[in-house]
Amino acid sequence: MRLNELRDKNGATSARKRVGRGIGSGTGKTAGRGMKGQKSRSGVAINGYEGGQMPIYMRLPKRGFNNPNKKRYATVNLGRLQTAIDAGKLEAGAIDEAALVASGVVTRLRDGVRLLGKGELTASVELTITGASKSAIEAVEKAGGKVHIAKSQPAPSSAE
């Protein structure tokens, strides 16, 4: 097989629909848009338009507040940590956030890593992370490890 012999499977592609090319084509005259009205005209975008009645996004009450500066942490449970150590992805010993990302335990750092206490940890590890729950710290210390809470780096401000 050569590059010039490559083809799509039969039925994988279909010809472009050419509208407004005479009545014999089946999509002539009104080009499949029907008769008159807003939708038959060009340049119409009516997302959320409800025919003059008050749109649903305006009828529903709004509550609460979305803080744009909220910290979002990548979370790691003790059980997940132990699984990675057992699988050989992580070395039991000194573990920091970069090691968690490199091993695939955490996919994205976001504003840091927070350790949560779900699952069991048997390996003795020394963690350097942004945050941890009380139960997670207790479980790590019970297994003979230590948790160092490193302050997260503040995001650079654009006001300077």
- The set of residues, in sequence order, having a beta carbon less than 8 Å from that of 12 and lying 6+ positions away, is none
What's the confidence (pLDDT) of residue 6? Answer: 95
CB atoms within 10 A of CB 76: 24
Q: Which CATH class is domain 74-149?
A: alpha beta
Q: 130 pLDDT exceeds 80?
A: yes
Question: Structure pTM?
Answer: 0.57
Axis-axis angle for helices 78-86, 134-142 (nearest 10): 40
Confidence of residue 44 (pLDDT cuts 50, 70, 90): confident
Q: 7 pLDDT exceeds 80?
A: yes
Q: Where are the domains of the chain?
A: 74-149
Tens digit of each residue's pLDDT (9 = 90 or more) over 67-109: 999 999 999 999 999 999 999 998 888 999 999 999 999 999 8
- The set of residues, in sequence order, having a beta carbon less than 8 Å from that of 136 and lying 6+ positions away, is 78, 115, 116, 117, 147
